[in-house]
Amino acid sequence: MNDSYLLIDKPAQMTSFGVVARLKRVISKAEGKKVKVGHTGTLDPFATGLMIVVTGIECKNAGTYTKLDKVYEATFRLGQTSTTADPEGELTPVSDTVPTREQIDEVLAHYRGDIQQRPPIFSAIKIDGRRAYKLARNGEQIEMPERTVTVYELEVLDYTYPELKIRTHVSSGTYIRSLAVDIGNELGTGAYCSALRRTRVGQWSIEDAQQLSDFGVTD
C-alpha cells in the first residue's frame, strides 16, 4: 500500500481529509512506520465516489492525478436554493414553476463546451492564503473569481420534478454545485446539488475502487 495509489469509494458524510486520516493510520500500522498519505482532489462531505489516494513517494505525483478529467452523476433539486449549493446549507424556496423537459434540454445546451464558472464560496479554494469555506463560515464577504472550465458531456438521466438527475464529464476544476446553481438560475427555479457521486477520474472507474472497510476501517 505504500509508495502507490489507492482507489477509494468515499462514503457520504465523511470529509476527504477523514478518508486520508483513516487510511494513514491503517497503512502506517501495517508498515510499522509513519507513512505520508494524501488525496488528489476533494469530494464534498455529502458526496460519494471515487477518490485517488496517494501514499509515500507517490504523493509527489498528486498534481498529475488532480488535473485529470472527471465524470459525475448528480441530482439537482429544482425550486430551492442552498447557501452552500448542497443539502448541508440553509434552504430557501424560490419558485414552484415546473420546467418542461424541452426547457431543461434547452438550458443544458448552454452548459456544454467551454463555460465561465464561479466556484462556490463554500469550497477549498484559497483566497489570500485562506480557505474560502473558512472565510464564509466567519461571515466574511468573498468575491470568487470566475474561471473557464470545460463540460465535455452533459446528459439527463432522469427528470421527475423537482429532481433532475444528470451525468457529466468535465475538466479538472469544475464544480458540479456551481453547475446546479447556474442551471437553476437560468431556469428561473433556483436549484442546488442534492446528491453527487464521482464515477471516474481519468482512466480509473468507481468499479475498481475499494471500500474503507476493505482496509479494516470501521468508523
User: Count of residues for the chain?
Assistant: 219
- Asked if 44 is an active-site residue, the reply is yes
C-beta separation of 112 from 151 below 8 A: yes
Pairwise CA distance, residues 75 & 61, whole Å: 32
Residue 75 makes CB contacts below 8 A (sequence gap 6+) with: 163, 164, 165, 166, 193, 194, 195, 196
User: Choosing from 3, 9, 44, 114, which is the catalytic residue?
Assistant: 44
- Give the type of residue at 176: I
Pairwise CA distance, residues 158 & 156, whole Å: 6
Residues that are catalytic: 44
